[in-house]
Structures are given as C-alpha cells and as structure tokens.
Amino acid sequence: MRAPDAFNRLILQEHLRRIGPVGLGAAAVAVLALGVALGGVLPQWQALRELQASEADASVQVQRVKRGELKIPVKPEQQALDSLREQLPGQPEASDLIERLYQLASAQRISLARGEYALGIDPKTQLARYQIVLPVRGSYPQIRGFLNGLIGQLPTLVLEDLELQRKRIADTELNGRVRLTLYLSRS
C-alpha cells in the first residue's frame, strides 16, 4: 500500500516542479479569489436579490393602493389627531373667538387691557396655535367667573398661566396677567 502513495506523491511533486513558483502563486491567487467570491460576494449577491424581490413586492402594493384595492392602515394616534382637527374651529374663526373672549370679560365687568397676540404652528401636531397674553383687572369672583366662562364656552382655549396680585391687603380689586392658548385647525 505504501508504493502507490509514494508514487502519487512523486507525480504531484513532478507536476509542481513543472508549474513552478509563478504557477503556484497563480493557483494560490485563484483559490483566494474563489474564497472571496464565496465568502464575500455571494452573500451580497443574495442580499441584492432579496432587495430586488422586496422592491417588486412594494411596487405591487403601491399599484394596489393607487387602484383603491388596498387601504393604508392609519395609526390610532393619527386617527385621534385627525378627529381633533375636524372638531377644532378653523384659523379664520380666530377673530370671532377672541371677540367672544372680550364679551365674556365684559359680562363679568372685567377690564382687559390691550393684550399680546402671537400666531404660531405647533411643531408636533401642526395645529395653529394663537397665544394670547392679557392684562386683567377685577375682583377675584369676577376673574374666576371670567375664567370659568372661557373654559365652558371656548373648549379649544387653554389657560396656560395666571398671575394675580393686589396692591394692598384691603383692596378688593386684583391686577394680573392671563396667558391663554387658542388651538385652531389650519383649514
């Protein structure tokens, strides 16, 4: 049994001598290239095929949506926000709502001095936000009645801050500042 193994080894050595060092280097490079192809390129090629299949599936889904065969599911948070937008007064109604604010103050015999108004957009909800700062003067029951009326009649108005002070303890009239935010839809 040893004779055939020795014979095969001699044949292999003869072939290696004939190929030479350059041939051995070329064979090593070929084996290395095959290893890189199998180890690196093949997985990338498979990933590319999977992406192409996903793209084809997505394209089919888009076509189904365009034809109306498939509805895009809406997140519950988005549904709640859309419902809120539908219930809010529109931006053009802001002056009517502010007029109602002054009517409520007048009904409580509260003096509202000239206020500050700033219209902005809420970055999270994209709702119009009218920020109002009003100096207010009246008795505590009058101011409380005014604020209760605001909350009851203008549900989209939020009381952000209230500062009240009196000059002397015996005074019944308070001076203060009310900061409100009126939320509106942008339609």
pTM confidence score = 0.53
What pLDDT sits at residue 161? 92
Question: pLDDT at residue 33 above 60?
Answer: yes
Q: Which helix (H) or strand (E) holds 130?
A: strand 128-139
Contact 119, 92 (CB under 8 A): no
End-to-end Cα separation, the chain, in angstroms: 95
Predicted local distance difference test score (pLDDT) of residue 37: 74
Fold topology of 80-184? Alpha-Beta Plaits (3.30.70)
**28, pLDDT greater than 70:** yes
Residue pair 154/105 in contact (Cβ under 8 Å)? The answer is no
Write the pLDDT tens digit of every residue in 137-163.
Answer: 888 899 899 888 888 888 888 889 999
**Pair 180, 105: CB distance under 8 Å:** no
Amino acid at the residue 3 = A
Domain assignments of the chain as residue spans, ordered by start: 1-72, 80-184
Q: In 42-127, where do the E strands start and end? A: 111-112, 116-121
pLDDT of residue 179: 93
